[in-house]
Structure 1
Amino acid sequence: MERQANNLAEGKTKTYNNPLLFILLLLITNAVFCQGVSLDNAKTYILGGLEVTGVKSYNEQTVKTYTGLRIGQELRIPGEETSAVIKKLWGLELFSDIKFYITKIEGDKVFLELNIKERPTLTDVTVYGVKKRKVEGVLNDTDLKKGKKITESLIANTKSYLTNKYRKQGFLNAKVSIATSVDTSATNSESMVINVKKGEKVKIKEITFEGNEKLKDKKLKKALKNTKQKKFYRFWKKSKYIEADYQEDLDKLVDAYAEKGYRDARVLSDTFVKLNDNNIALKIKVEEGDKYYFGDINFVGNSVYTDRQLAQVLGIKKGDTYNGVLLKERIADDSKPDAEDVTNLYQNNGYLFSRINPVEISAINDTIDFEIRIIEGKETFLNHVTVVGNDKTNDHVVFRELRTKPGQKYSKDNIVRTVRELGQLGFFDAEQIAPDIENPNPNDGTVDIKYSLVESGSSQIELQGGYGGGGFIGTLGLSFNNFSIQNLFKGEAYKPVPMGDGQTFALRLQASRTFRVYSLNFAEPWMGGKKPVRFNLSFSRTQQFAANFDSQGRLQRDDDRGFSITGVSAGLAKRVQWPDDFFTISHSLGYQLYEFNDYNIGLFNFGNGTSNSFAYTIGISRSSQGPSRIYPLTGSNFEITAKFTPPYSLLFNNKDFKSLKLRSEEISASATDGTPLTTAEINELQSIEEERFKWLEYYKVKFKGDWYTRLVDKLVLRTNAEFGFLGNYNNDIGNVPFERFFVGGDGLGNFTLDGRDVIQLRGYENSSLTPFSNNPITGNLEQDGGTIYNKYSLELRYPLTLKPAASIYALSFLEAGNAFNNFQDFNPFQLKRSAGVGLRIFMPAFGLLGIDFGYGFDSDARPNSVGPSGWQTHFIIGQQF
């Protein structure tokens, strides 16, 4: 009010020639400011006119209308009307100054001037001291948008926000300065420059404790999970000071005492000491108190479970050292949705509304007695179960994976398992699957569940290029992982292909100058639609051509010489309930026809004729990894498969394979003596080999296991073990030249489809760990493939982002493995070792992409290989996760 009276008293020079007006202004000023007279002495006028001055970007009439003042209305000066106008205009935060002037008084009429000063408009913001990719985030967080009015509070709030933001990140010396300058390109506009000087992150040079006798400093420092003292060897957990983390760690410090029985331990004080601009010291004073033990633990209110059953789940006995953290976890472990605690025991059996509360009933000397008070509530059943967000995937595909059906008992375990199963489909973003509990009704014992899903791309395009198999290898693959074959002939369903039924349809073409591979695969995960029985059907065709180098060193293909493999297979896999419902048993039948046409390159010991393979494969697998198949956090995945062909030579054939083998070895031995084989000997040897392997007979056993252990947050350790063995029924025939194991490299060499297994072992060149043997036809040392291998690996993974558009994670690995010619040479401890780092990117449209840098510590199996393999670069495309 004082400001208003002063403005009204100022007047304008042109009015001072009126003695009466000048005297009136002096009287008002003297009354209000000098004598403190009440505004009750103000005089009433009729508003004769109102002029608005100072406007630049606003219309004068608009401002007049907004004031609410009308010509002809009564107006007390000074009075509440003008005060209300000023307050109203200030509330808009559009003006930096507002003043009323009396320009003229005629009798009982007063003429006023409203002078306003507009705040400048923000046109541009430049930020220094912040990475370019983070500037947009700064502008969004501070709401610095073009057209915003620049106020003192805007500048102050922006400066305060940014300073606190960087201090919370450990930049305790962060300074932010903000300057504005007139922008002549627009009316009443200014640009803003923000200069951020974060400085170095402040490190914790020293952490000291006072008052601790029961727990040593080392134990207490370990309890501070995210507040670490600076050490030269510390890489993973940095020693930066983050206030929020530090306060959280002080609670963990008290928990560390509670785990050892010191229930009354507390932090008396914590002192922050600044040593210099870059280093601080923390001094923490604790009071430990006495050590306590558990006394009697009685359960009250339980009728569903006996005291003995509950005590077994609780796992705490009388006389145990008091552990408040453990007691809390055994009652309800919030960190694990599937934890084995008392709360989940009830909630997995329908008692959603149960409440379990541990209460101390007495503390005598060093012993604490507890009552576990239980309110079981009413048994709860599912009323409605709904799914939203599956815009492309048909409802029946989602609902058949649900383990929560209307009318069933409520089970938290079933909800957790459902989330995992939906994530494993690969059709939805596993990170965003949200089961919402709705409409809980304790009186009726009912509840609704709604699963919110976010579709992610499930189809993939595979484009791959590399060198191997005689030159450049190109691959084009199309994989539709949510296909719908029943809509194949419905034109309106093509978006761009029929989708929604959860089937898989894949086409793949792989080619180089010397070979071509075509394959087609179709899979229905719920054959018949009632049970999880997976049906798989596949066709493949491989053509491998002989090649020679011309006089200019160019590779020339010979279309008249080569071999082809034509294969077809069909399989069924069923999810079973025993030993648990993570197990799957699979069966498949496959036939392959090998056709050779003057293909005498030594890869096989016969170059003309045919070979047949008819095999049955049985597999047992257990997959509990999850929640996402792209980046599993927990669980395991293992499989054991056994592939058999009939023992033709023992059941149906009376040929003298022993004599054939002896003659083969006799001919081969002459080549190893350095004497080249004659054409007749080569033809005879090939004829013998074709006779021996007219129908392939073998058995092949493989085991692979992956275990995922969540260490901290989303830091995951993947442990892997693999083993494979190829055997025969008849030693007179020996091991087949197909179905072998090739170890080493990136694992992308499965282009020949001759049944071989290419095993990844990074840090070595492709297949370089596979044993060599002398080929009697070519006289050269060549790789026939191993008949036995083993491999072990440890892989530490951490995600950079797990968004639907792209999941990216970094990894480091240790690997070891080897391949052997026969079981007699097998030594599980004779391993080729490697280590390295890598990066994986999963994009729904392209599948898995990655790169690894591995260092091989040992020599490979190639002749004359000496010293370590050294650094190798591997590109990963489309392999398993």
Structure 2
Amino acid sequence: MKFFSAVFLALISVHGVAKPVEDVRIDGLIQMPSTRAFDLIGFDDDKTYDSNKVYEAINSLFNSGFFSDIDVYDDQGVLVFDVVERASIGDLTISGNELVNTEDLERGLKLSGLEIGEIYKPETLNQISQELQRQYFALGRYSAKVDIKVDDMPRNRVGISIDIDEGDTAKIVHINIVGNTAFDDETLTEDFEARETGYWNPFSSADEYAKAKIDGDINTLRSFYLDQGYLDFKVVSSQVSLSSDKRDVYVVINIEEGKPYSLNDLSLSGSLPISEDLVWQHISHAQGDTFSRQEVTDIIEKISTELGNHGYLFASVNVIPEKLDDQTVNLSYQINPGSRVYVRRITFAGNSETQDEVLRREMTQFEGALAVHSKIQASKRRLERLGFFGNVNLRTRPVPGTTDLVDLEFTVLEQPSGSIQASIGFSDDDGLIYGFGISKSNFLGTGNRLSFNASKSDEYTSYSLSYRNPYFTVDGVSRGARFYYQSSDYDSDDIEDYQLDKIGAELSYGYPISDTQSLTFSLGVQETSIDLSDDPSNESEYFVDTYGDNYDDIIASITWRDNDLIGGILPTNGYSTNLNLRVTTPGSDQEYYKASLTSEKYWNIDNSNLWLFHAKGRVSYGNGYGDSEYLPFYENYYAGGAGTVRGYSSSSLGPQNSYDDDSDSNSDAMGGNFLMAGTLEVIFPLPMVEDHKSVRTAAFLDAGNVFATSCFPVSTNCTSGVDLGEIRYSVGLSWTWITPIAPLSFNVAKAINPEDDDETDFFQFRLGTAF
């Protein structure tokens, strides 16, 4: 029948005869819907056909890619298309991959047509295998292998399994730079990401070969020479050779250094809408200086910022170099300021909880005003300092159809600003800690802070309720109130046994001085009562005998704060300085004052927010005035433990109290009225940790101690004065994790210069927090 049909179709092709048919039928369909197949054939309703129409139908079916064979014949007036469908992909599995995510591999396979439900095309498998190997080769896995298996499945389907053997990463044995005479290899490779095998760092993969790493180092090399004035420098070639076992890589970079250029003439060109002096103050090099591309780049950025601060946000600044035969170069800074730009609209997105007003009041750039680069950036940074957002992005969009209007779009990523906590923790300082707290730093999206906290440990009980409105007035004057109760029952190995109860309230007002600075004034009342043990120390007994055991005080304080820390609980950049003076006012039972200066700063070592350097220092001093000769002993500062000098037991350093000869008590640390403490930290990432925003590891050096500038007349163990030789030091490692329940921190520290009477702790940790 098929043979007869082929002959018959050939005859009508010759004579061009169109034959009517009773029907058209398609046999062999399994997965393709018949409606789609008939659409591909595309016969008209008149049901006539000739050979051209048949051939067109066959081509249309083949071009769909679904069929591997098609026969056509006439079965008693019925035109039959007998098709054989290609198999479809019924299952796709990938195994053995660790370096490359399965999702990324599946995305790449999809682009190549290898996806569940798609037509199986055997000819693509070899291409896919080669492409996967190429990706692993680029990662330095030259021994990687890709094995693809195809298994038949029911209903004309196949299952494809891709088994990847990633192999071992080839190591860089030697990096050789050829053609350098002005600089040695060590200098040129100092900033390379790649390192030769033998470079030891347990957390580094610098000696593992990757093409992208070498390409980046070549760009680093090029930048180095251009920064040294070698304008004719070029990389002639780079070769990577592989050992026979595919484990060792040898990198050779051939260069031509040329000669360094110095600056001959500097000029400005183009249209200059501001004073030339404002531009020239940013041009830091002069005639005779060695050319540096990095310096030129910095100057261009500074000039662009200067123009942006005058409203020319889209100014274009380019440098035109003219190389001269005497190895000098003329530089012309060409300025095209564009139009002066105004802000039409400022919008916010992503703040589902925080009210627009809270964000808008942080703006130093206003709608309808001249767009000023510094004000726009200051607005962004003020939003970051709020602490409500994990990320703040800014987009400057030109208004279509205009050249002098822009819209500013701030997109924020809100992070939790409140918590309800019930926790059980433990610390070396206070033993078991039971805590409950309700805190909201962005109460009802208003930016106000409301918190209630309660906690209890073996040594203290504390309750506090506080509220703060950072914008009590539209000018940014803040108002806060706090009510608190504290009961401390000291009975540890390092502090004298007595009970101290405090209850008080205070009202505060803060006044902004600048974007980062503020002054806060507060006034509070406090009732304090002391209950000494049956065997008090000479110092505490003397103080109570002299001044009583119950005090009603009015306490005033002033705080100057300069805070530009970014990153919330675990800062990554910026600085903070606090200066506080706290004094009892006339009419109080006590007469004393306390002053404290605390400052810290973070440096981003590699702009990754992972490698940081942190320095922090604190100096505190207090004393009595008027009829009070001494700072109350319960207001003393203490040193040792977390917060001052790790590696020493909590509150164990400094002067000690004394007891009568017939007492059974041992001397304890009684603190002092002068405290000095400092910390230097190198913060580094752990390779197995992904969330570095909640986990931090650091190596630290601590130093500090407390001193008594004057001793009680009954003291026998106290030496007055400040002796810097008594400063204690420690080194160690710290690990902090901000858990969903409470902060968890570990410290492993070694006391460097302990005295015989010092109490040391090699390991300290804290789970939970005291409110």
In which range does the TM-score fall when normalised by the shorter chain? 0.7 to 0.9
The answer on whether the counterparts of 1:47 and 1:70 sit within 8 Å (CA) in structure 2 is no
SS in 2 for 1:371: strand
In 1, Cα distance between the equivalents of 2:180 and 2:253? 10
Report how far residue 238 of structure 1 moved: 1.4
Residue type of the partner of 1:585? L
The residue that corresponds to 1:583 in the other structure is 517
* Counterparts in 2 of 1:734 and 1:365: CA distance versus 1, 3 Å: same
Counterpart of 1:454?
A: 413
Query: Which of 586, 589, 593 does residue 699 from structure 1 map onto?
Result: 593
Distance in structure 2 (CA, Å) of the matches to 1:879 and 1:317: 59
Alpha-carbon spacing, 1:232–1:377, altered in 2? closer, same or farther (3 Å): closer
1:785 match: 671
- Which segment drifts farther, 249-258 or 599-608? 599-608
1:467 positional shift: 4.6
Provide the secondary structure at the position in 1 that maps to 2:683: strand
- Aligned residue in 1 for 2:292: 323
Alignment partner of 2:752 out of 850, 858, 878: 858
Identify which of 174, 178, 193 aligns with 2:148.
178
Post-superposition offset of 1:637: 1.2
Correspondent of 1:413 among 374, 380, 387? 374
TM-score normalised by length of structure 2? 0.86
Retained in 2: the 8 A contact 1:103–1:113? no
Tell me the distance in 2 between the aligned counterparts of 1:778 and 1:772: 16
- Are the equivalent residues in 2 in contact too, given 1:787–1:822 (CA < 8 A)? yes
Equivalent in the alignment of 1:670: none
What pairs with 1:733-744 in structure 2 (closer than 5 Å)? 733-744=629-640
Name the aligned partner's letter for residue 119 of structure 1: A
Q: Residue 532 of structure 1 aligns with which residue?
A: 476
Distance change in 2, residues 1:293/1:806 (3 Å): closer
The equivalent residue for 1:637 is 576
1:476 to 433, 436, 447: 436
- Alpha-carbon offset, residue 392 of structure 1: 1.5
Q: What is the one-letter code of the residue matched to 1:709? A: W
Q: Over residues 187-235 of structure 1, what are the superposed CA-to-partner deviations in whole Å (9 max), with x where a residue is unaligned?
A: 33443322111112222111111111112211211243x2332333345
For residues 581-621 of structure 1, the C-alpha deviation after alignment (integer angstroms, 9 at most, x for no partner) is: 42211222233211245654648434983133432222222
Contact 1:860–1:869 (8 Å) recurs in 2: no
Matched, 1:229 2:190: no
- How far off its partner does 1:326 sit? 1.6
> RMSD of aligned C-alpha atoms?
3.6
- The CA distance in 1 between the partners of 2:138 and 2:739, in whole Å, is 32
- Name 2:254's counterpart in structure 1: 285
1:501 is matched with which residue: 435, 446, 457?
446
Rounded to whole Å, the distance in 1 between the matches of 2:270 and 2:7 is 88
Q: Tell me how far apart the structure 1 counterparts of residues 418 and 628 of structure 2 sit (CA, whole Å).
A: 48
1:296 Cα deviation after fit: 1.0
Q: Does 1:120 align with 2:91?
A: no
| Structure 2: 5+ residue stretches without partners | 710-720
Structure 1 residues 180 and 827 mapped into 2: Cα distance closer, same or farther (>3 Å)?
same
Per-residue deviation, residues 852-875 of structure 1 (Å, max 9, x unmatched): 34222336678475xx743x1423
Give the match's secondary structure for 2:162: strand
Report which of the two structures shows the higher radius of gyration computed on alpha carbons: 1
Is residue 2:765 matched to residue 1:874?
yes
Instruction: Output the amino acid matched with 2:375.
Output: N
> Aligned partners of 1:809, 1:468: CA distance in 2, in Å?
21
For 1:753, the equivalent position in structure 2 comes to none
Q: State yes or no: 1:727 paired with 2:687.
A: no
Query: Within 1, Cα distance between the matches of 2:448 and 2:376?
Result: 24
1:373-384 aligned at under 5 Å gives the runs 373-384=334-345
Give the conservation status (yes or no) of the 8 Å contact 2:21–2:79. yes
What displacement does 1:313 show?
0.5
1:639-695: CA deviations, max 9, x gaps?
12122224x7xxx9xxxxxxxxxxxxxxxxxxxxxxxxxxxxxxxxxxxxxxxxx93
- Give secondary structure in 1 for the equivalent of 2:650: coil
Aligned residues: 740
Aligned partner of residue 318 in structure 2, secondary structure: strand
> Which residue of structure 1 lines up, in the alignment, with residue 730 of structure 2?
833
Structure 1 200/265 Cα, relative in aligned 2: closer, same or farther at 3 Å? same
1:54 equivalent among 16, 28, 39? 28
Distance in 2, Cα, partners of 1:565 & 1:800: 43
1:266 pairs with one of 234, 238, 243: 234
Task: Indicate the residue corresponding to 1:343 in structure 2.
Answer: 304
Alignment partners' CA distance in 1, 2:569 and 2:88: 52
Quick one: structure 1 residues 601 and 425, their matched pair in 2 at CA, closer, same or farther if it must change by over 3 Å? Answer: farther
Q: Distance in 2 between matches of 1:854 and 1:160?
A: 50
Letter in 2 for 1:519: S
Matched residues in 2 for 1:629 and 1:804: separation? 18
Cross-structure match for 1:360: 321
**Structure 1 consecutive aligned stretches of length 4 or more whose deviation exceeds 6 Å:** 39-43, 803-806
Per the alignment, in what secondary structure is the counterpart of residue 509 of structure 2? Answer: strand
Question: Which deviates more, 824-833 or 462-471?
Answer: 462-471
Contact between 1:180 and 1:191, CA under 8 Å: does it hold in 2?
yes
Contact 2:91/2:158, CA 8 A, preserved across alignment: yes
Q: Deviations over 1:742-798 (max 9, x none)?
A: 33334xxxxxxxxxxxx3444444334455333457632222223333222233335
The 1:223/1:511 distance shift into structure 2, 3 A limit, reads closer
Q: What letter matches 1:503 in structure 2? A: N
Q: Could you tell me which residue of structure 2 aligns to residue 166 of structure 1?
A: 136
Q: Counterpart in 1 of 2:98? A: 130
1:379-424 per-position Cα deviation (integer Å, ceiling 9, x unaligned): 2221222222222111211110011101222122222211111111
For 2:509 and 2:530, the matched residues in 1 are separated by: 32
Q: Does 1:67 align with 2:69?
A: no
**Structure with more contact order per residue of length (Cα contacts < 8 Å, sep ≥ 6):** 2
CA distance in 2, matches of 1:241, 1:805: 26
CA pair 389-878 structure 1, distance change in 2 beyond 3 A:
farther
- 2: distance between equivalents of 1:767 and 1:189? 74
CA distance, structure 1, for counterparts of residue 475 and residue 21 of structure 2 = 87
**Which residue pairs with 1:311 in the alignment?**
280
Q: CA deviation at 1:247?
A: 1.8
CA distance in 2, matches of 1:416, 1:601: 62
Q: CA deviation at 1:15?
A: 4.7
Shift of 1:180: 2.8
Cα–Cα, structure 1 residues 545 and 625, in superposed 2: closer, same or farther, change >3 Å?
closer
Note if contact 2:648-2:751 (Cα within 8 Å) is conserved in structure 1: no
Counterpart residue identity of residue 54, structure 1: G
5 Å-filtered alignment, 1:188-227, equals 188-224=156-192, 226-227=193-194
CA separation of 1:153 and 1:305: change in aligned 2, threshold 3 A: farther
> What secondary structure, in the 3-state scheme, does the structure 2 residue paired with 1:177 have?
strand
Work out the percentage of aligned pairs sharing the same amino acid. Answer: 18
- The amino acid that maps onto 2:735 is G
Distance apart, 1:702 and its partner CA: 1.6
- Equivalent residues of 1:568, 1:592 under 8 A apart: yes
Q: 1:243 to 1:514 in 2, by over 3 A?
A: closer
Gaps of 5+ in 1: 1-13, 32-38, 333-340, 484-498, 549-557, 653-693, 747-758
Q: 761, 766, 790: which is aligned to 2:650? A: 766
Shift of 1:876: 5.8
